Amino acid sequence: MNTAEKIISVCFLLQGVCCRDFSISLPEKIQALSGSCVIIKCRFDIKESYDKDLTERAAGVWYKDRHDKSSSIVFNSSASTQNFFIKGNITGQLIDKDCTTVFYDVTSNHSGQYFFRIESEGELRWTYKENSVSVDVIETLENPRVVLYVDGQELQDQQKVFEGRSVSLRCSAKTLCSSPPATLTWSSTARIPHSESINLKELIISDLNFTAAQRHHRVTFTCSISYQLQDNNKTANSSITLHVQYAPQISNSSCSSTDVTVCFCEVDGNPSPEVEWHLSGCPVSNSSNTLISEERLSNTSLRSFISLHQSLTHTNTLLCVSKNTRGASTLQFHLVFVPQKEIYILIGAAAGALVIVLLWAVTYAYTCVRRKNNEKIQPTNQEEGANESVENTDEENQDDSANNVIISSAGATTANQKSIIYSSIDFSNSESRSQQVVSVSCLLADYAVVQHGSGGAAEAEFSERVFKIDRSTGESESR
């Protein structure tokens, strides 16, 4: 390149620097939420020769879809009243060539291509036809994006979250024009750890940090973005479910003994664990003396059973061993061997004690009943007495032998409500020297009938005497 060519090149470069032209900087596309606002970032430039015409009285005009008709004007900052298609405000300083504009209460009808025009004093009138911005008013929000980080590295496979690792869930969403601004919130089926939020110019971010544990397995975390609008609130959300791998953990376990000893071991782990039984330090498998079975409770938990013959329980160390790729866990059972004879002895002793208690209870109840009955049966008259024995000796016939006297009572009621009891006395037996009259009564007056006859004669004649016994003196009166 010779000297002339160099001079020409320098002149062209200087011309490009010194000679400014009309230009504008606009975003290609802006998304807005229906019922909210839209902000259009805008900067423009003019030819150097028009700098003197750009004053504080300059106005900004926006056209929609077309730029060659006045009917397409939707906004003019110089108008005293806002009777245009859209309400808004130019927040930038036009004298500084900042045409940033905000439109309010946009709807789907406001979607379209927008062109800017600058108008000022003098001859400054220019429409920027070459560049425009596309405004897209949406009715529903886009869902936020949730990303999983483990130990600071983004993790695509959610199955590889290990227990004890540092986990971070990041939720991000584009910020749309709104007042108040949008907010991000976390929700979960488990307790939510503390979250941190970051607000950028066009992006809002919220991080959820915690250490992975068993309780986070199969837990769904949901991030929601919300906008508070005049008419109603609008919300969008995204979710992620964690799959935490953890070592087996043994929970409910116990043993019961009858003719055989049955133990069970309940285990939970991810990946699904395996269970082994060890007896006296040796693994046990199914045999005639041991029976092992399993019950699947869920994708990560199971319950294993073992049945031991009674003769094996003298080995009092039984282990439940659970393993998976993340670790192992054991639980020891202490078996107590009770011989069958001792069991029968204990059962017999318990039964005997029960019988004794029942007999004592029955005896006590019977005694109480008799005592109550005796208390109820009381003499109602002082002249009534207990049964008494009456001994009568016949003074007129001492040589005759006394006979055993059988007294039969007959109840009778006198006019004055006194009862008389008659007793018959048989003196047919002459061998006895005494005569005995026994009368049992609880009445006021007792009488005895004495029959005399010759001993041994069935057809003998008898004579009768009636004795009245006086209770107060014990004496008898002959009738």
Residue 19's pLDDT band (boundaries 50, 70, 90)? low
pLDDT > 60? residue 398: no
pLDDT > 70? residue 14: no
pLDDT > 60? residue 213: yes
CATH fourth-level superfamily of 145-242: Immunoglobulins (2.60.40.10)
Higher pLDDT, 49 or 194: 49
For residue 252, give the nearest of 313, 305, 312 by alpha carbon.
Answer: 305
* Tens digits of residue pLDDT in 39-73: 999 999 999 999 999 999 999 999 999 887 887 89
> Is the bond into 180 cis (omega within 30 degrees of 0)?
yes
Residue 29's pLDDT band (boundaries 50, 70, 90)? very high
Q: 20-138 and 245-334 share one CATH topology? A: yes
Identify the pLDDT of residue 269.
95
CATH fourth-level superfamily of 245-334: Immunoglobulins (2.60.40.10)
Read off the pTM.
Answer: 0.59
Residue 404's pLDDT band (boundaries 50, 70, 90)? very low
The helix or strand, by DSSP H or E, that contains position 445, with its residue range, turns out to be none
The helix or strand, by DSSP H or E, that contains position 467, with its residue range, turns out to be strand 463-469
Identify the pLDDT of residue 419.
41
CA–CA dist 210, 221 (Å, integer): 12
pLDDT > 60? residue 97: yes
Identify the pLDDT of residue 422.
45
The DSSP output letter for 28 is S
> Per mean pLDDT, which range of 145-149, 161-165, 367-371 is the poorest?
367-371
Residue 314's pLDDT band (boundaries 50, 70, 90)? low
C-alpha count within 13 angstroms, C-beta hemisphere, residue 260: 12
Return the CATH number of 20-138, one of 1.10.10.10, 3.30.750.210, 2.40.50.140, 2.60.40.10.
Answer: 2.60.40.10
Domain segments of the chain as ranges: 20-138, 145-242, 245-334, 383-479
